Amino acid sequence: MERTLPTLDIEGTAFVIDVAWQELRERDDPANTISFLEMKDHGTHYILRYDPDVRNLPEVFGKDIIEVSIPQMVTLDPEGMSLAHGLSLSQLKGKTDFDIIVDQDLVQQRRNGQLPVIEIAGHPFYVDVRIGLLRPKDDFSTMGISFDAIDHCLKVDERMYEINYNPASKEFVYVDYRNITSMPEGVIIVEFPHESILDPIAYARKYGFDEREMLRAHPPQEDMKARTVPWKETPIEEILAENIKREQPNSLIIQIGDEQFLLDRKTVVLQPLIRKDGAIDLNAFDTDMDGWEYMGFYDTSKRAVVHPNESNSGSPHLHMLIIPVDLIHNPYRAEHSKGYGPRLIPMNRPRPEKKEKQQVKIKKSKGKRI
Protein backbone atom coordinates (compact mmCIF):
# COMPACT_ATOMS: atom_id res chain seq x y z
CA MET A 1 0.00 0.00 0.00
CA GLU A 2 1.35 3.40 -0.98
CA ARG A 3 2.22 5.63 1.94
CA THR A 4 0.23 8.84 2.37
CA LEU A 5 2.68 11.73 2.40
CA PRO A 6 2.37 14.39 5.11
CA THR A 7 1.48 17.98 4.30
CA LEU A 8 2.66 21.41 5.42
CA ASP A 9 0.57 24.58 5.48
CA ILE A 10 2.27 27.72 4.17
CA GLU A 11 0.17 30.87 4.40
CA GLY A 12 -3.07 28.93 3.90
CA THR A 13 -1.81 26.69 1.08
CA ALA A 14 -1.31 22.97 1.68
CA PHE A 15 1.91 21.46 0.33
CA VAL A 16 2.70 17.75 0.16
CA ILE A 17 6.13 16.96 1.66
CA ASP A 18 8.05 14.67 -0.71
CA VAL A 19 11.44 14.01 0.89
CA ALA A 20 12.43 11.50 -1.82
CA TRP A 21 12.42 14.38 -4.32
CA GLN A 22 13.37 16.97 -1.67
CA GLU A 23 10.46 19.18 -2.58
CA LEU A 24 7.17 20.66 -1.45
CA ARG A 25 4.38 20.04 -3.94
CA GLU A 26 1.14 22.01 -3.79
CA ARG A 27 -1.65 19.56 -3.00
CA ASP A 28 -4.20 21.20 -5.30
CA ASP A 29 -1.69 22.05 -8.04
CA PRO A 30 1.02 19.34 -8.21
CA ALA A 31 2.86 21.19 -10.97
CA ASN A 32 3.67 23.93 -8.44
CA THR A 33 6.76 22.71 -6.58
CA ILE A 34 9.35 24.24 -4.25
CA SER A 35 12.71 22.51 -3.89
CA PHE A 36 14.38 22.41 -0.49
CA LEU A 37 17.59 23.18 -2.38
CA GLU A 38 16.14 26.61 -3.20
CA MET A 39 15.80 27.38 0.50
CA LYS A 40 18.57 28.56 2.84
CA ASP A 41 19.63 25.68 5.08
CA HIS A 42 20.35 26.92 8.61
CA GLY A 43 20.99 23.46 10.03
CA THR A 44 18.02 23.45 12.40
CA HIS A 45 15.55 24.81 9.83
CA TYR A 46 15.24 26.31 6.35
CA ILE A 47 14.34 29.86 5.40
CA LEU A 48 12.08 30.15 2.36
CA ARG A 49 11.52 33.44 0.56
CA TYR A 50 7.86 33.07 -0.36
CA ASP A 51 5.42 35.03 -2.52
CA PRO A 52 1.81 34.26 -1.47
CA ASP A 53 0.50 35.53 -4.82
CA VAL A 54 2.30 32.81 -6.82
CA ARG A 55 2.51 30.36 -3.88
CA ASN A 56 6.19 29.86 -4.64
CA LEU A 57 9.52 31.63 -4.66
CA PRO A 58 9.16 35.23 -5.85
CA GLU A 59 9.37 35.67 -9.62
CA VAL A 60 10.20 39.37 -9.26
CA PHE A 61 10.88 41.74 -6.40
CA GLY A 62 7.64 42.74 -4.71
CA LYS A 63 6.13 44.07 -1.52
CA ASP A 64 4.39 40.88 -0.43
CA ILE A 65 7.47 38.66 -0.24
CA ILE A 66 7.85 37.05 3.17
CA GLU A 67 10.36 34.77 4.84
CA VAL A 68 8.95 31.49 6.13
CA SER A 69 10.72 29.15 8.54
CA ILE A 70 10.46 25.56 7.30
CA PRO A 71 11.43 22.65 9.59
CA GLN A 72 14.07 20.16 8.48
CA MET A 73 12.81 17.27 6.34
CA VAL A 74 13.84 14.80 9.05
CA THR A 75 11.45 16.66 11.37
CA LEU A 76 8.64 16.98 8.82
CA ASP A 77 8.73 13.35 7.68
CA PRO A 78 11.11 11.09 9.63
CA GLU A 79 9.52 7.95 8.18
CA GLY A 80 10.07 9.21 4.64
CA MET A 81 13.70 10.09 5.37
CA SER A 82 14.19 6.64 6.88
CA LEU A 83 12.85 4.99 3.72
CA ALA A 84 14.72 7.30 1.34
CA HIS A 85 18.14 6.82 2.96
CA GLY A 86 17.93 3.31 4.37
CA LEU A 87 18.32 4.36 8.00
CA SER A 88 16.28 3.37 11.03
CA LEU A 89 14.33 6.00 12.92
CA SER A 90 16.73 5.65 15.84
CA GLN A 91 19.67 6.34 13.50
CA LEU A 92 18.03 9.60 12.42
CA LYS A 93 17.80 11.00 15.95
CA GLY A 94 19.92 14.09 16.51
CA LYS A 95 20.85 14.39 12.83
CA THR A 96 20.15 17.22 10.42
CA ASP A 97 19.17 16.84 6.77
CA PHE A 98 22.78 17.65 5.87
CA ASP A 99 24.10 14.86 8.12
CA ILE A 100 21.73 12.34 6.53
CA ILE A 101 21.93 13.30 2.85
CA VAL A 102 25.66 14.08 2.63
CA ASP A 103 28.02 11.14 3.23
CA GLN A 104 30.17 12.49 6.06
CA ASP A 105 32.89 9.85 5.57
CA LEU A 106 33.40 10.94 1.96
CA VAL A 107 33.46 14.58 3.04
CA GLN A 108 36.16 13.83 5.61
CA GLN A 109 38.22 11.88 3.08
CA ARG A 110 38.07 14.81 0.68
CA ARG A 111 39.02 17.32 3.38
CA ASN A 112 42.00 15.11 4.19
CA GLY A 113 43.22 15.58 0.61
CA GLN A 114 41.91 12.46 -1.11
CA LEU A 115 40.86 13.32 -4.67
CA PRO A 116 37.63 11.89 -6.11
CA VAL A 117 38.01 9.29 -8.87
CA ILE A 118 35.84 8.72 -11.93
CA GLU A 119 36.19 5.79 -14.33
CA ILE A 120 36.19 6.70 -18.02
CA ALA A 121 36.04 3.84 -20.53
CA GLY A 122 37.55 1.45 -18.01
CA HIS A 123 40.38 3.69 -16.77
CA PRO A 124 40.34 5.65 -13.46
CA PHE A 125 40.87 9.41 -13.55
CA TYR A 126 41.60 11.74 -10.63
CA VAL A 127 39.25 14.73 -10.49
CA ASP A 128 41.66 17.63 -9.93
CA VAL A 129 39.48 20.74 -9.96
CA ARG A 130 42.27 22.91 -8.52
CA ILE A 131 44.32 22.63 -11.74
CA GLY A 132 41.29 22.02 -13.97
CA LEU A 133 42.08 18.48 -15.10
CA LEU A 134 40.85 14.93 -15.12
CA ARG A 135 44.20 13.14 -14.68
CA PRO A 136 44.55 9.46 -15.68
CA LYS A 137 45.73 7.37 -12.75
CA ASP A 138 49.16 5.71 -13.16
CA ASP A 139 49.66 7.21 -16.62
CA PHE A 140 52.03 10.16 -16.91
CA SER A 141 52.24 10.12 -20.72
CA THR A 142 49.33 12.56 -20.94
CA MET A 143 47.89 15.40 -18.90
CA GLY A 144 44.43 13.93 -19.39
CA ILE A 145 41.30 15.97 -20.02
CA SER A 146 41.25 19.73 -19.47
CA PHE A 147 37.96 21.22 -18.30
CA ASP A 148 38.79 24.40 -20.24
CA ALA A 149 39.16 22.37 -23.46
CA ILE A 150 35.74 20.76 -23.07
CA ASP A 151 33.86 23.83 -21.87
CA HIS A 152 31.90 23.97 -25.15
CA CYS A 153 30.83 20.33 -24.65
CA LEU A 154 28.78 21.10 -21.53
CA LYS A 155 25.05 20.42 -21.68
CA VAL A 156 24.10 23.28 -19.38
CA ASP A 157 20.58 22.14 -18.45
CA GLU A 158 21.82 18.69 -17.42
CA ARG A 159 25.17 19.84 -15.96
CA MET A 160 26.81 17.06 -18.00
CA TYR A 161 29.74 16.99 -20.40
CA GLU A 162 29.46 14.93 -23.59
CA ILE A 163 32.85 14.69 -25.25
CA ASN A 164 34.80 12.94 -28.01
CA TYR A 165 37.28 10.68 -26.23
CA ASN A 166 40.23 8.59 -27.39
CA PRO A 167 40.67 5.62 -25.00
CA ALA A 168 44.18 4.94 -26.36
CA SER A 169 45.58 8.41 -25.61
CA LYS A 170 43.14 9.05 -22.73
CA GLU A 171 42.43 12.52 -24.09
CA PHE A 172 39.64 14.67 -25.44
CA VAL A 173 39.71 14.72 -29.25
CA TYR A 174 38.49 17.55 -31.46
CA VAL A 175 36.34 16.29 -34.34
CA ASP A 176 35.38 18.59 -37.21
CA TYR A 177 31.76 17.47 -37.52
CA ARG A 178 31.10 20.08 -40.17
CA ASN A 179 33.32 18.29 -42.67
CA ILE A 180 33.79 14.62 -41.70
CA THR A 181 32.50 12.05 -44.19
CA SER A 182 33.42 8.91 -42.24
CA MET A 183 33.44 7.79 -38.63
CA PRO A 184 36.30 9.30 -36.57
CA GLU A 185 38.96 6.64 -35.96
CA GLY A 186 39.50 5.45 -32.38
CA VAL A 187 36.97 7.88 -30.93
CA ILE A 188 34.03 7.20 -28.63
CA ILE A 189 31.53 9.50 -26.96
CA VAL A 190 31.54 9.65 -23.15
CA GLU A 191 29.31 11.55 -20.76
CA PHE A 192 30.13 12.62 -17.20
CA PRO A 193 29.01 15.29 -14.70
CA HIS A 194 30.23 18.86 -14.35
CA GLU A 195 33.17 19.38 -11.98
CA SER A 196 30.86 20.98 -9.39
CA ILE A 197 29.20 17.56 -9.10
CA LEU A 198 32.42 15.53 -9.38
CA ASP A 199 34.10 17.48 -6.55
CA PRO A 200 31.77 19.99 -4.85
CA ILE A 201 34.28 20.82 -2.10
CA ALA A 202 37.13 21.80 -4.44
CA TYR A 203 34.72 23.62 -6.74
CA ALA A 204 33.33 25.69 -3.85
CA ARG A 205 36.84 26.58 -2.66
CA LYS A 206 38.10 27.50 -6.13
CA TYR A 207 35.17 29.72 -7.10
CA GLY A 208 34.17 31.10 -3.70
CA PHE A 209 30.86 29.30 -3.18
CA ASP A 210 29.47 28.21 0.17
CA GLU A 211 30.88 24.72 0.75
CA ARG A 212 27.90 23.50 2.76
CA GLU A 213 25.41 24.65 0.12
CA MET A 214 27.49 23.05 -2.64
CA LEU A 215 27.66 19.75 -0.74
CA ARG A 216 23.94 19.90 -0.03
CA ALA A 217 23.18 20.40 -3.72
CA HIS A 218 25.73 17.83 -4.93
CA PRO A 219 26.54 15.22 -2.26
CA PRO A 220 29.85 13.40 -2.91
CA GLN A 221 29.55 10.04 -4.64
CA GLU A 222 31.57 6.85 -4.68
CA ASP A 223 32.26 4.62 -7.70
CA MET A 224 31.62 7.34 -10.27
CA LYS A 225 31.62 6.13 -13.88
CA ALA A 226 31.34 8.02 -17.15
CA ARG A 227 28.72 6.68 -19.52
CA THR A 228 29.82 5.55 -22.96
CA VAL A 229 27.19 6.97 -25.32
CA PRO A 230 26.26 4.66 -28.22
CA TRP A 231 26.72 6.36 -31.58
CA LYS A 232 23.08 5.55 -32.36
CA GLU A 233 22.08 8.04 -29.65
CA THR A 234 23.92 10.83 -31.45
CA PRO A 235 23.10 12.63 -34.73
CA ILE A 236 26.28 11.26 -36.35
CA GLU A 237 24.39 9.46 -39.15
CA GLU A 238 22.59 12.63 -40.18
CA ILE A 239 25.84 14.62 -39.98
CA LEU A 240 27.75 12.14 -42.15
CA ALA A 241 24.92 11.89 -44.67
CA GLU A 242 24.69 15.68 -45.00
CA ASN A 243 28.46 16.08 -45.38
CA ILE A 244 28.73 13.24 -47.92
CA LYS A 245 25.92 14.66 -50.04
CA ARG A 246 27.62 18.06 -50.02
CA GLU A 247 31.09 16.68 -50.86
CA GLN A 248 29.91 13.93 -53.22
CA PRO A 249 26.76 15.17 -55.03
CA ASN A 250 26.36 11.88 -56.96
CA SER A 251 26.56 9.68 -53.89
CA LEU A 252 23.58 7.64 -52.74
CA ILE A 253 22.63 7.13 -49.10
CA ILE A 254 19.73 4.80 -48.43
CA GLN A 255 17.89 3.76 -45.30
CA ILE A 256 17.52 0.08 -44.41
CA GLY A 257 15.64 -0.51 -41.18
CA ASP A 258 16.99 1.95 -38.61
CA GLU A 259 20.35 2.42 -40.32
CA GLN A 260 21.77 4.48 -43.19
CA PHE A 261 24.11 3.03 -45.83
CA LEU A 262 26.42 4.64 -48.40
CA LEU A 263 26.45 2.99 -51.83
CA ASP A 264 29.68 2.37 -53.71
CA ARG A 265 28.33 2.23 -57.28
CA LYS A 266 31.52 0.66 -58.65
CA THR A 267 31.48 -2.35 -56.33
CA VAL A 268 27.69 -2.31 -55.70
CA VAL A 269 28.34 -2.58 -51.97
CA LEU A 270 26.35 -0.77 -49.28
CA GLN A 271 28.47 0.32 -46.29
CA PRO A 272 26.89 1.38 -42.97
CA LEU A 273 27.71 4.99 -42.15
CA ILE A 274 28.59 4.45 -38.49
CA ARG A 275 30.18 0.98 -38.33
CA LYS A 276 32.81 -0.92 -40.28
CA ASP A 277 31.07 -4.29 -40.22
CA GLY A 278 27.69 -5.05 -41.75
CA ALA A 279 28.45 -4.17 -45.39
CA ILE A 280 25.83 -5.46 -47.85
CA ASP A 281 27.29 -6.83 -51.09
CA LEU A 282 24.49 -6.73 -53.65
CA ASN A 283 26.53 -8.93 -55.99
CA ALA A 284 25.66 -11.82 -53.69
CA PHE A 285 21.92 -11.10 -53.96
CA ASP A 286 19.54 -12.78 -56.36
CA THR A 287 17.38 -10.74 -58.72
CA ASP A 288 13.78 -11.32 -59.67
CA MET A 289 12.87 -12.88 -63.03
CA ASP A 290 12.69 -9.50 -64.75
CA GLY A 291 15.94 -8.28 -63.22
CA TRP A 292 14.25 -5.28 -61.64
CA GLU A 293 15.00 -5.97 -57.98
CA TYR A 294 17.81 -7.31 -55.81
CA MET A 295 16.49 -9.84 -53.30
CA GLY A 296 18.19 -11.18 -50.16
CA PHE A 297 17.54 -12.04 -46.51
CA TYR A 298 18.24 -9.58 -43.70
CA ASP A 299 18.13 -9.96 -39.91
CA THR A 300 16.98 -6.68 -38.36
CA SER A 301 18.24 -7.58 -34.87
CA LYS A 302 21.75 -8.51 -36.11
CA ARG A 303 21.59 -5.78 -38.78
CA ALA A 304 23.21 -8.19 -41.22
CA VAL A 305 22.55 -10.23 -44.36
CA VAL A 306 21.81 -13.86 -43.42
CA HIS A 307 20.97 -17.17 -45.05
CA PRO A 308 17.71 -18.80 -43.92
CA ASN A 309 18.28 -21.98 -41.93
CA GLU A 310 16.70 -23.97 -39.12
CA SER A 311 18.00 -21.59 -36.45
CA ASN A 312 16.38 -18.45 -37.91
CA SER A 313 13.51 -19.84 -39.96
CA GLY A 314 10.96 -18.85 -37.32
CA SER A 315 12.61 -15.62 -36.21
CA PRO A 316 10.47 -12.45 -36.22
CA HIS A 317 13.64 -10.57 -37.21
CA LEU A 318 14.09 -12.43 -40.50
CA HIS A 319 13.08 -10.24 -43.46
CA MET A 320 13.25 -10.33 -47.22
CA LEU A 321 15.30 -7.29 -48.29
CA ILE A 322 14.25 -5.98 -51.69
CA ILE A 323 16.22 -3.18 -53.37
CA PRO A 324 15.22 -1.80 -56.80
CA VAL A 325 18.02 -2.22 -59.35
CA ASP A 326 17.25 1.24 -60.75
CA LEU A 327 17.89 2.73 -57.32
CA ILE A 328 21.47 1.51 -57.54
CA HIS A 329 22.27 2.11 -61.20
CA ASN A 330 20.11 5.13 -62.05
CA PRO A 331 21.22 8.18 -60.00
CA TYR A 332 18.44 10.38 -61.41
CA ARG A 333 15.74 7.89 -60.40
CA ALA A 334 17.27 7.50 -56.96
CA GLU A 335 17.40 11.26 -56.43
CA HIS A 336 13.96 12.20 -57.71
CA SER A 337 11.70 9.25 -56.87
CA LYS A 338 10.20 9.72 -53.43
CA GLY A 339 9.25 6.55 -51.61
CA TYR A 340 11.23 4.50 -54.12
CA GLY A 341 13.68 2.55 -52.00
CA PRO A 342 14.53 -0.65 -50.12
CA ARG A 343 11.72 -2.70 -48.60
CA LEU A 344 11.89 -5.09 -45.66
CA ILE A 345 9.19 -7.76 -45.76
CA PRO A 346 8.79 -9.90 -42.62
CA MET A 347 9.16 -13.60 -43.36
CA ASN A 348 7.38 -14.71 -40.21
CA ARG A 349 4.38 -12.52 -39.60
CA PRO A 350 2.37 -13.48 -36.52
CA ARG A 351 -0.87 -15.13 -37.46
CA PRO A 352 -4.00 -13.35 -36.30
CA GLU A 353 -5.85 -15.14 -33.55
CA LYS A 354 -8.93 -16.98 -34.69
CA LYS A 355 -12.10 -15.60 -33.26
CA GLU A 356 -14.64 -18.08 -32.07
CA LYS A 357 -17.87 -17.90 -33.99
CA GLN A 358 -20.71 -16.73 -31.85
CA GLN A 359 -23.80 -18.83 -32.12
CA VAL A 360 -26.86 -16.72 -32.63
CA LYS A 361 -29.97 -18.16 -31.13
CA ILE A 362 -33.09 -17.51 -33.18
CA LYS A 363 -36.29 -17.42 -31.25
CA LYS A 364 -39.12 -19.20 -32.94
CA SER A 365 -42.26 -17.13 -33.32
CA LYS A 366 -45.36 -18.57 -31.82
CA GLY A 367 -47.58 -16.37 -34.01
CA LYS A 368 -49.54 -17.52 -37.02
CA ARG A 369 -48.02 -17.39 -40.48
CA ILE A 370 -49.58 -14.88 -42.83
- Assigned domain for 116 exists: yes
Residues 220 and 241 in one domain: no
- pLDDT for the residue numbered 351: 60
Q: Report yes or no on 362 lying in a domain.
A: no
Q: Please report whether residue 320 resides in a domain.
A: yes
Does this model's pTM top 0.85?
Answer: no
DSSP letter for 61, please. Answer: -
If asked whether residues 72 and 187 sit together in one domain, one would say no
Q: Do 157 and 272 fall within a single domain?
A: no
Burial grade of 6 (CB within 10 A; 0-12, 13-18, 19 or more): middle
User: How are the residues of the chain apportioned to helix, strand and coil, as percentages rounded to the nearest 5?
Assistant: 20, 30, 50
For the chain, how many structural domains are there in total? Answer: 3
In whole angstroms, give the CA distance from residue 270 to residue 282.
8
Mean pLDDT for each consecutive 10-residue tract of the chain (370 residues)? 92 97 97 97 95 91 87 98 96 96 96 97 97 94 95 93 97 95 95 97 96 95 96 93 86 87 88 90 89 91 88 86 84 59 83 59 48
Please check whether residues 223 and 241 belong to one and the same domain. Answer: no
Same domain, 224 and 247: no
Nearest to 145 by CA among 133, 155, 154, 153: 133
Strands 224-225, 280-281: pairing kind: unpaired
| 266 in the same domain as 191 | no
Q: Is residue 314 part of a domain?
A: yes
212 and 245 together in one domain: no
**80 lies in some domain:** yes
Q: What is the pLDDT of residue 368?
A: 45
Residue-range definition of the domain harbouring residue 301: 236-346
**Cα torsion for 56, 59, 63, 64, to the nearest 10°?**
-10
Last residue of a domain, one of 93, 117, 143: 93
Final residue of a structural domain among 93, 125, 143: 93
Cα–Cα distance for residue pair 314/306, rounded to 1 Å? 13
